[in-house]
A and B are shown apart, each in its own frame.
Chain A
Amino acid sequence: QQQVKQSPQSLIVQKGGISIINCAYENTAFDYFPWYQQFPGKGPALLIAIRPDVSEKKEGRFTISFNKSAKQFSLHIMDSQPGDSATYFCAASGNAGKSTFGDGTTLTVKP
């Protein structure tokens, strides 16, 4: 049973465009929703995270939109740059120790 579904699997965007990655979760006990960025040969690194008491969080060019009633959250990358080309993972966790990740999205930003 996959508790976090991520889409699309891959995404190609032109430089300066907007990249949008979506995730949906099932477990209403989740209360922390991070996005991780992973470059080839490296471990994932936290990009931005949100808790369900807010609907949006912005950090620079990166924004999380959160829809609690729909159990969905998304990552928006504004003014996408070639350096943003990486694999992005959404995740969800609660008070218990489990952490569930989406399958990942490979983003390619073309110059």
Chain B
Amino acid sequence: EAQVTQNPRYLITVTGKKLTVTCSQNMNHEYMSWYRQDPGLGLRQIYYSMNVEVTDKGDVPEGYKVSRKEKRNFPLILESPSPNQTSLYFCASSLGTGPGEQFFGPGTRLTVL
């Protein structure tokens, strides 16, 4: 089944404890992206990758890191999480090198205490 998977789906952590949210797609898509969703604010883009080894900042990159060493994986790293990063996170992928039709993962709900 063609899909985007994220792990973990739920995570409660404490301020300052490094964490990684994994994202993997099995559709051989070039483009991958991370978004955060907060009530009333829609989806805001954190980082995106147009192809392997090429990543760039979205609208809200502060406090986040990403890497794209393989085509299928695009992990989101929070080196020192803070409570304002409590949010619902979505990974997405698209066939071409631009956003286009994006396929979203099921989401990761993160709570930082």
Question: Residues of A with Cβ closer than 8 Å to B?
Answer: 6, 9, 32, 34, 36, 41-46, 49, 89, 91, 93-104
Query: Other CB < 8 Å A-B pairs besides A44-B104, A93-B100, 11 of them?
Result: A41-B107, A43-B106, A44-B90, A46-B101, A46-B103, A96-B98, A98-B48, A98-B59, A100-B45, A100-B59, A101-B35
A43 to B107 CA separation, bound complex (whole angstroms): 6
Docked CA distance A45–B42 (Å)? 14
In Å, the complex CA distance between A46 and B102 comes to: 7
Known A97-B48, A100-B59: A44·B98 in contact at CB below 8 Å? no
Of B4, B33, B90, B104, which one neighbours A97 at CB under 8 angstroms? B33
Give, as a whole number of angstroms, the nearest-CB distance from B54 to chain A: 9
Q: How many A-B residue pairs have CB under 8 A?
A: 72
CB contacts under 8 Å to A, within B12-63, are 31, 33, 35, 40-45, 48-50, 56, 58-59
Residue of B nearest to A32 (CB): B100
Of the candidates B41, B45, B97, which one forms a contact with A99 in the assembled complex, judged by CB atoms under 8 Å apart?
Answer: B45
Closest B residue, CB atoms, query A95: B98
From B50, B90, B99, contact of A43 by CB (8 A) = B90
Name which residue of chain B comes closest to A104, CB basis.
B42
Are A97 and B99 in contact, CB atoms less than 8 angstroms apart? Answer: yes
B75 CB contacts on chain A under 8 angstroms: none
Q: Which residues of A contact B102 (CB under 8 A)?
A: 34, 36, 44, 46, 99
